Chain A
Amino acid sequence: MQILIKSVRIYGFRGLQNVEIELEPITVLTGMNNSGKTSFLKALQVALGNRSFISQDDFFASDKDSVDEIIIDLKIISVDGDGNQLVTFSENWEVLFTEERIVHESGQEAYLPLRTVVTFDELNNAYKAQQFILNEWPDFSIKGKHFWYESYNGKKRNFRFDEIPFFYMDAQRDIIEDIKNRASYLGKMISKIKYSPQDIEDIEDQIKILNEKAVSSSSVLSNIKTTLKELGTALDSHSEGVDITPFTKKIRDLNKGFSIYYTDNKGSFPMEYHGMGTRSWSSLLTLKSFISILDASYREKGEAFFPIIAIEEPEAHLYPNAQKKLYQQISKIGGQKIISTHSPCIAALAKLEEVRNFYNNGSGLLCGQINVEELDSEDKRKIKWKVINSRGEIFFSKAIVLFEGETEEQALPVFADHYFGKTAFEIGVDFVGVGGYGNYLPFIRFAHALAIPWCIFSDAEPETVKSVKKQIKSSLSNERENEVVVFLDDGNNFERQLIDDGYTKEIKDAIKNKELSKCKTKQHAKAKQAEIDSYDNKELYETISEIKTQYGAVIAEEIIKSGKQLPPKIEVLFKKIEKMFKGEKG
């Protein structure tokens, strides 16, 4: 049985004025630069790890407000191996936390309500952090007026436990620096290496033999040694002479000569010769090793152990295929992991419920999450499939456009390219076909949770309109439907709308493009061309509706080629997107 930091509340720390974030065994933090990811990890460090870094700059200050105390609350719960919450803490954890820290209200699960308060201590001219055990876990806010951080601190009790160590891996990690730095995880491990006296003697004897052999076999080294012996006569000392040791002489100097070679099929190179990707990754792996050593020693003693590991941008300097392996590797480290990332690969591999998106809503930094309890497994599968399909890009979208079918999926990017003068990829817009008008809701929730602006480009058959309106309503998003939906003209779908908009020539050109190349003879082609030219609207519609995937992009390209104006509804949609970028409502 294990524990879990279920909830973290932060007040007044850096850009985070007042946020609550729920955590999972692994939590993946996404969001733009300056959206508060690192601040969040640092806040965790204040509560659980070293807080010597705290300075005035860590206290929230804006034009309107500033704080003189930082408050960080943690709620720790008991969970089983699958992360399901348990009613009580297991014996090891109860013994560690004691009845002084555990709260167990009637009919609920037991938890630990922990508070850290950082203030400036005028007397000592230093920042002072105090820790408390709250009487209870307060509501986040009461009627939006009174907030959790105004609740009573409770009794003063430290909750720094060796059994719950906090590890922080910042983005600048580098194994080369780690080797040199005794305070790094690698440095700590190397300095703890213990040999038996017999082993030390044996190893040092062998080094001695090695050194003698190295010197005696080299005329250069031998010469240097002989020459340096003259030191003795000059200094009139009675020293034994001069020793040249190409290899470290004493075991205790192990870390001075310590180096790591990484061998690939091209040969073996010292770490210094490898790029930052390998070095950064190696550094991460040494942390994994450090934690597993600790874990083993606690396990041996039969004691509780649960590391909290914060990793900043594990993908730093790594190429995309290597990034794909990171999530797996990190998930195998014991304890609770919180990863901040800009890597779509990592976000794509995380479970939907593990992703937290930090964003700035104009008035402050906030954090969103996907409420998976609202989604059934089919919904989850659909979203996940789109996530994988977009290779995770969708998590980092600046706007998502939702629509029913495949024609739009192909046509819209082409139109967008033309309208914005940049590819949709460049401007960060994702076009997502949801596969039927009844499937919008999970995607609305997804976008809403991650605070990604979204809109719907919808067909306008009566039952479609009814359904879409209903889904928007039940998504409980605040947007009004006319702000987020572009309906085609009454009764139309996309194909019919193009015909109604008068692009019959362009559609016919598109069909000709496809069909004429299939014709084997010129006569055949001529006959086909005449046939297509003679299509009435009904026949046109039937042709392009029959094999939708073939025509979406081609028709769009023909329309653009024709130099005509874009379909009016498409223009309405793109204007909406422009406004969304500016942060204005529909």
Chain B
Amino acid sequence: MSQKINLSDKQREIVLVEDGPIYVKASAGSGKTRVLTERIGNLLGKTKRKILALTFTNKAAKEMKERLPNFADINKRLFVGTFHGFCQYVLENHGNLIGLPKAPHIFEEESDRIKLIEQAIEQTPSYSNDYKNQNKKEQQKFCYKVLSFISQVKRECMLEEELLNKNKNENFVMLFKTYQDILVSQNAIDFDDLLLLVYKLFIQNPETASLYRRTYQYICVDEAQDLNNAQYQVVLALTNGKHKNVMMVGDPNQSIFGFNGSSPDFMNKSFVEDFKPKIFELKENYRSSQAVLKAAEKLIPSSNDVVNTVIKGIFEIHKANNEEGEAGWICDKINEFIQQGKHSDIEGDITFEKIAILARNKYVFNKLEETLNERGIPFYYKMTPGGIKFESEAINIFDLAFRIKLNPQDNLHCRRLCELLEIKYDKTISLSGLILKVDSEIKNQVLKTVNNLANDGRNVKVTLEKLKNFMKNKDLKLDDNEVRMILNDIDEILKHWFNYAKMTDKKSLQQFKNAMALGQTHPLTQYNGVTLSTVHTMKGQEFDIIILMGVDDETFPDYRAIRSGGVEMVQEKNNLYVAFTRAKRFLFAVWPQKRLMPWGDSKDRKISRFLENFTL
């Protein structure tokens, strides 16, 4: 809470509202989750009671939790969850009041419910004959139709007596009843029942409803445009005209759940009529800055709402003399921001964690990594989950063989290994069998190296150093680049081994493999400092400050894409767009005029062809 946050006047007004119903119409990027979490934080300080924050997905609930201020015993004071989660919680507490069994099994999966419907059909003889004569597709279609009928009935909070009066399709009603009987006999309820039963519980037990009403002094519904009837009825039954502190936040233009019986009308009309809430509108966009959006628009025109975007932001392209100059400029920029500490466009202090450096591929970072180390700037590599990717063919063979050594039953990888070795796969083949069959001197040596590794890992270092020396042998007539790649890859393995060996006294190859897969052996697994990442790995994540380096032509777009052209070039442009839009506030694109080539000489570079018309 101590963190100073820049709320707009309108946002602040909503945050500070305490009692009474409110309805916030909020468009995308208008900071509605922020307003919601800030308000919850504010209310938690005002009441001893609890707050109920309802969302539509577990992911949304999790996100909201993460964004809440750090309040003492927040988990006790706040229920953040989905409607279904809340209803399940209520039934666990007081479900016995409506005769619910101790721990009913909940059929959540659609597939489970379809199976129940099939059972119901089988138990309805007049129906099962017709059904049996249908083909698979028709049967499936029919089941879904029944399911949607059952769901609809429950969402409408229809009681069974009303069912027959309102529905002409007697067969569906019969199936509904059989379906319910099967549920009861299995001590189960389905997903839709959760809401319906809580609705019943609150209606039939006013004392218990009132207990919850007192307990949850404030109720907030996020993405309220997605409300369906059952959910709205639960809110009504809980509040019962007495409880006014209900806040609904949503964007009527964003309703997406339509198929679930949802309608923005529950928020827009029913809520407004039933509660007479104070209405607020949040239109301004805070998700991005004008500068970044304009740059992205220039790259690929789309429907970004620049007009309502409030924050100015920065976009700059910088030309450095060479890679050293590029790295130096980036480090200077980072230090400048850190020393500056604050910027009106950015929430809170500017920290290393708010800065990410992107590049087209991971080798672009080589010089930068050195410079960052020299300057003492903390950083880490964002990794894709899973194992390490090797670049050279030889070490990819090493990797596969290593897997098979540890798990001879691993047919999947054995098959891939055989492909790389150009040997016909056969189930009975073993690592030593492969060695006999492979003619290539290099591949053979790699397999032998794997075979020689002791299971307790005592000879990893010696064996791999031997392999390095073997690869340096000029007689092999390998391409210089390939040799460099192989040596880098081996060094990488050794680096990981060293990190693993530090962690444990009881070493084993198997454990090493697992630790590697879990990312535990990565030299920079800590998550603080500046983030270094390739554009691909960064998808779906945003940073306040993005420095995109190596925007020279043939690096970004990649020279291979330039050669192939067509779709690959479109893809490259999309990648650049993605890279741009990772920036929430500031975006810097840097490139070196000269690059050092592997064989030691410098080569002149040009700016990325995508950025040629960006004149600054």
Contact = CB atoms under 8 A, between A and B. Distances in A.
Contacts, number: 48
Given A104-B208, A105-B97, A106-B205, A99 B215 contact: yes
Measured as residues with beta carbon below 8 angstroms from the partner, the interface class of chain B is: 20 to 34
Interface string A75-114: 0000000000000100110110011101111111010000
Given A103-B94, A155-B92, A94 B206 contact: no
Main secondary structure of the interface of B (DSSP, over half): helix
Nearest to B47: A95
A105 B205 contact: yes
Contacts of A106: 97, 204-208
B215 A98 contact: yes
Nearest to A102: B211
Contacts of B50: 98
A104 B204 contact: no
Interface string B395-409: 000000000000000
Contacts of B208: 104-106
A136 interface: yes
Given A103-B94, A105-B97, A94 B204 contact: no
B212 A99 contact: yes
A136 B97 CA distance: 9
B49 interface: yes
Contact of A152 (B49, B76, B102, B215): B102
Contact of A104 (B49, B76, B102, B207): B207
Interface in A123-162: 135-136, 152, 155
B463 to A, nearest CB: 45
A95 B49 contact: yes
A152 B92 CA distance: 13
Nearest to A157: B93
B93 A100 contact: yes
B48 A95 contact: yes
A104 B215 CA distance: 13
A414 to B, nearest CB: 62
B207 A94 contact: no
Nearest to A108: B207
A185 B105 CA distance: 49
Of the candidates A91, A94, A99, A102, the one having the most CB atoms from chain B within 10 angstroms of its own CB is A99
Nearest to A303: B48
B211 A104 contact: yes
Nearest to B49: A95
A442 to B, nearest CB: 37
Contacts of B97: 105-106
A102 B210 CA distance: 12
A110 B49 contact: no
Given A94-B214, A94-B215, A95-B48, A110 B93 contact: no
Main secondary structure of the interface of A (DSSP, over half): loop
Interface string B300-332: 000000000000000000000000000000000
Nearest to B100: A135
Contacts of A100: 93
Of the candidates B210, B211, B212, the one having the most CB atoms from chain A within 10 angstroms of its own CB is B211
B8 interface: no
B124 interface: no
Nearest to A136: B96
B477 to A, nearest CB: 65
Contacts of B93: 99-100, 155
Contacts of A136: 96
A92 B94 CA distance: 21
B253 to A, nearest CB: 36
Nearest to A133: B93
A155 B208 CA distance: 17
A98 B214 CA distance: 10
Interface in B186-209: 204-208
A95 B49 CA distance: 6
Contacts of A110: 207, 211
A99 B93 CA distance: 8
Nearest to A87: B207
A413 B93 CA distance: 61
A270 to B, nearest CB: 46
A163 to B, nearest CB: 13
Nearest to B92: A155
Contacts of A92: 48
B215 to A, nearest CB: 5
A219 to B, nearest CB: 62
Interface string A254-288: 00000000000000000000000000000000000
Contacts of B206: 106
Contacts of A152: 102
B578 to A, nearest CB: 46
A88 B97 CA distance: 17
B113 to A, nearest CB: 26
Given A104-B207, A106-B207, A135 B96 contact: yes
A202 to B, nearest CB: 37
Contacts of A103: 94
A107 B210 CA distance: 12
Contacts of B76: 98
Contacts of A155: 92-93
A109 to B, nearest CB: 9
Nearest to A106: B205
B35 to A, nearest CB: 26
Interface string B88-108: 000011101100001000000
A312 B97 CA distance: 40
B289 to A, nearest CB: 43
Contacts of A94: 211, 214-215
A92 B210 CA distance: 16
Interface string B198-234: 0000001111101110110000000000000000000
Interface string A512-546: 00000000000000000000000000000000000
Nearest to B208: A104
Contacts of A95: 48-49
A103 B102 CA distance: 15
Nearest to A96: B48
A578 to B, nearest CB: 53
Given A95-B48, A135-B96, A105 B214 contact: no
A132 B133 CA distance: 53
Contacts of B212: 99
Nearest to B97: A105
A105 B215 contact: no
A106 B204 CA distance: 8
Nearest to A135: B96
Of the candidates B48, B93, B102, B206, the one having the most CB atoms from chain A within 10 angstroms of its own CB is B93
Nearest to B96: A135
B36 to A, nearest CB: 23
Contact of B211 (A99, A107, A108, A135): A99
A6 to B, nearest CB: 18
A195 B76 CA distance: 35
Interface string A373-404: 00000000000000000000000000000000
B419 to A, nearest CB: 50
Nearest to B95: A135
A584 to B, nearest CB: 47
Nearest to B207: A104
A135 B215 CA distance: 19
Given A98-B215, A106-B207, 16 more contacts: A88-B210, A88-B211, A88-B214, A91-B48, A91-B49, A91-B214, A94-B211, A94-B215, A95-B48, A99-B94, A99-B215, A102-B211, A104-B205, A104-B211, A106-B204, A107-B207
**Which 7 pairs, one residue from A and one from B, show the smallest C-beta to C-beta distance?**
A135-B96, A104-B207, A99-B215, A95-B48, A104-B211, A104-B208, A106-B205
Interface of B: 48-50, 76, 92-94, 96-97, 102, 204-208, 210-212, 214-215
21 contacts: A88-B210, A91-B48, A91-B49, A94-B211, A94-B214, A94-B215, A95-B48, A95-B49, A98-B50, A98-B215, A99-B94, A99-B215, A100-B93, A102-B211, A104-B208, A104-B211, A105-B205, A106-B204, A106-B205, A107-B207, A136-B96
